[in-house]
Structure 1
Amino acid sequence: MNAPSLFRYLNQEKIVFILTVLLFVAFAVTLNNFLSSANLLSLVRSVAVLGVLGLGMLIVVLGRGIDLSLVAVMAISVAWAMQLIHQGVPVSGALTMGLLFAVGIALCTGILVAYAEIPPLFATLAMSTFVYGFGRAHLITGTDVVYMPKTMGWIVTFGQGKLFGIPMPIVVAAAMALIVYLFLRYTKLGNFIYAIGDNLAASRIGGIAVRPMLVLQYVLSGAIAFVAGIITATSVEAMNTRIVNSNMIYDVILVVVLGGVGLSGGRGNVRNVIVGTLLIGVLMNGMTIMDIQYTVQNVIKSLILLLAVVVDSIVNPRDEQTGQQGDI
């Protein structure tokens, strides 16, 4: 196999997967506590949450959008649901209200993007700020951290249970990945999302209801964010709303772009999200064990994100239509 053929075979997804394996082996050999059960459990949880959020971001990015409100929706909706349980609302009712809040916010975001034609970058950034401010002022006043009620019941297994010895966060993340894969691959709505991302004008001419589909993308993203929040809250028995002000949303974008999902839309799949999540999860875990300062970690991740975006711009160049839409 000559060099050009080898280069064609080793696409971005496969290169990232190979790097993940090499990095895992290197950390396992050089870091004393990397293979400890406590550390691997921490790695599993972080990878699961990042992966689920990455699935939500994937759906939006495939349709030429981006969702910077994912983490805010995740944190506030789940924190509010747990506070309602503390106040005596039944678990099922509180979780339903939290899910409806997440979906409602996502619906508003989708309408802003699809019908008001506000670029997704600005619409979701503004919505993220609104959700965090509104949530702290009116829904979960007086605290940054909402602790998990003791009456959560079976829902706790999402973060702390095991299925055949496999931690439930991984099981839930795998189930979500399968659902999203089947949705994108075998349903008309999934095909419509790819079509819109590939060529919005042709999709409209072809009879696809483009605006409702754009709204649907954000609604699905909001629902997936709520699931990620449940995993987070039940894993650590609390939801810290200050996570909204962290760099987590950029980690989500990083796993999507790094795995090979095209920011220009219409290119990518669940497998891309999985390999990107594994690499960033292993990298972040290893840097934490090495006691690398948080600011230095952010610099490293920022450089990786910049490199990934440059590679994406070369592999998946923006076309004239994408530029006119103002989407990332």
Structure 2
Amino acid sequence: MKRLLNVHEAPIILFTILVTLLFSILSPDFMQVENIRLILDQNITMFIVAIGMTMVILLGGMDLSVGSVLAVTATSVGLFLSHGIHPWIAAAMGICIGVLCGMVNGYFIAVRKIPDIIVTLATMYIFRGIAVGISGGTWMTNFPEGFRFFGQGNLLGISFPLFIAVILIAIFIYVMKFTRVGRRVYSIGGNGPAAKLAGISVVRTKFKVYVLTGLLVGIASVIFAAKVGSVQASTAGSGLAFEVMAAVLIGGGSIFGGVGTIAGTMLGVLFMGIVKNGLIISKVSPFWVDAATGFLIILAIVINTLQRIRQNKGKEGDLV
């Protein structure tokens, strides 16, 4: 039991179980298979974007522009489709735009060493403005059937978006745990100057992380546009950055960097999805959903903080 409690993700696992049991008692419909599928389906975009945000926060940074990157990418894909471009080619071009946005952020943050909050705050407005400009303020709609497969199709009896999300989660869990790239990210976030002295290229690693984040947002954008069936440039992805950052922190990440896991973040996304769905299905007034979600986020973060303090004290005791 003591070993289980020392697992990094233990607080969010326990908290998720407790909240699930609570909503199961409040509403018998909560644990229905269809509702569980709905929770997963509604949060596919967050699952994918949160992978990138986890890596950014592990570096000790943040990315406020992910919602705007989603907007400009999804809007661009809509424009490509409206001009008769094949759905697969349009999707690939959209993902490339996401990568390009990540390169812009990475260049100014990693190479030019401008603080990430300033760069991503600026690009948040720039990318959103570009999205609204190229769309002319109109909705992107009437996507062809071949494109809707990315958001609504099935593969081997599994939802295609969920299949893609699971594959990406598995890949990046492996990357962060067992590859040099992952170790470098943790090292830079834990102690940047020491990582530099150890021969780690801080600039290159940071640049790669922001590019990968752009890639992941690009993939999420295609799924988002195909799932919803329409895109409104001025509102698409609004609030996404803060939601995924909250998921990282709920999952045990530290805003100061060096602490957190992809698995923990995925649990954080799932927790937020469960809370929102549970409050709605329990017929709580929608006006209270955001307030209750915020309260539970604070509670989860406090629990994670107390766990880290206890673990640090345990390490100090072992040294003594």
TM-score, with length taken from structure 2: 0.86
Q: How do 1:234-253 residues align onto structure 2 when only pairs under 5 Å count?
A: 234-244=226-236, 246-253=238-245
**How far apart are 1:81 and its partner, in Å?**
0.9
Q: How do 1:291-310 residues align onto structure 2 when only pairs under 5 Å count?
A: 291-308=283-300
Structure 2: how far apart are the matches of 1:283 and 1:244?
22
2:144 to 147, 150, 162: 150
How many residues align? The count is 309
SS of alignment partner, residue 146 of structure 1: coil
Pair 1:264-2:256 in alignment = yes
**How far apart are 1:287 and its partner, in Å?**
1.8
Match of 1:288 in 2: 280
SS of alignment partner, residue 256 of structure 2: coil
| 8 A contact 1:81–1:95 mirrored in 2 | yes
| 8 A contact 2:96–2:218 mirrored in 1 | no
**How far apart are 1:292 and its partner, in Å?**
3.9
Match of 1:326 in 2: none
Match of 2:190 in 1: 198
Structure 2: how far apart are the matches of 1:131 and 1:197?
27
Match of 1:100 in 2: 96
Match of 1:166 in 2: 158
Structure 1: how far apart are the matches of 2:28 and 2:157?
24
Deviates most, 187-196 or 64-73: 187-196
SS of alignment partner, residue 240 of structure 1: coil
163 and 244 in structure 1: CA distance in 2 versus 1, 3 angstrom threshold: closer
Amino acid at match of 2:243: D
2:67 to 61, 66, 71: 71
Structure 1 gaps, min length 5:
318-328
**How far apart are 1:129 and its partner, in Å?**
1.1
291 and 242 in structure 1: CA distance in 2 versus 1, 3 angstrom threshold: farther
Structure 2 gaps, min length 5:
310-320
| 8 A contact 1:262–1:316 mirrored in 2 | no
179 and 11 in structure 1: CA distance in 2 versus 1, 3 angstrom threshold: closer
CA RMSD of aligned residues (A): 2.5
Q: How do 1:21-36 residues align onto structure 2 when only pairs under 5 Å count?
A: 21-35=17-31
Q: How do 1:134-145 residues align onto structure 2 when only pairs under 5 Å count?
A: 134-137=130-133, 139-143=134-138, 145=139
**How far apart are 1:89 and its partner, in Å?**
2.3
1:81 to 56, 77, 87: 77
SS of alignment partner, residue 60 of structure 1: helix
Structure 1: how far apart are the matches of 2:107 and 2:27?
48
**How far apart are 1:100 and its partner, in Å?**
2.0
Deviates most, 12-21 or 304-313: 304-313
**How far apart are 1:95 and its partner, in Å?**
2.3
Pair 1:184-2:179 in alignment = no
SS of alignment partner, residue 147 of structure 1: coil
272 and 34 in structure 1: CA distance in 2 versus 1, 3 angstrom threshold: same
Percent identity, aligned pairs only, is 25
| 8 A contact 1:68–1:121 mirrored in 2 | yes
Match of 1:45 in 2: 41
Structure 2: how far apart are the matches of 1:99 and 1:263?
28
**How far apart are 1:176 and its partner, in Å?**
0.8
Deviates most, 234-243 or 98-107: 234-243
Amino acid at match of 1:76: V
1:230 to 210, 222, 230: 222
Match of 2:86 in 1: 90
1:278 to 267, 270, 277: 270
Structure 1: how far apart are the matches of 2:170 and 2:301?
27
Amino acid at match of 1:70: V
| 8 A contact 2:176–2:183 mirrored in 1 | yes
TM-score, with length taken from structure 1: 0.84
**How far apart are 1:110 and its partner, in Å?**
1.2
| 8 A contact 1:263–1:316 mirrored in 2 | no
Amino acid at match of 1:185: K
Match of 2:315 in 1: none
1:111 to 107, 110, 114: 107
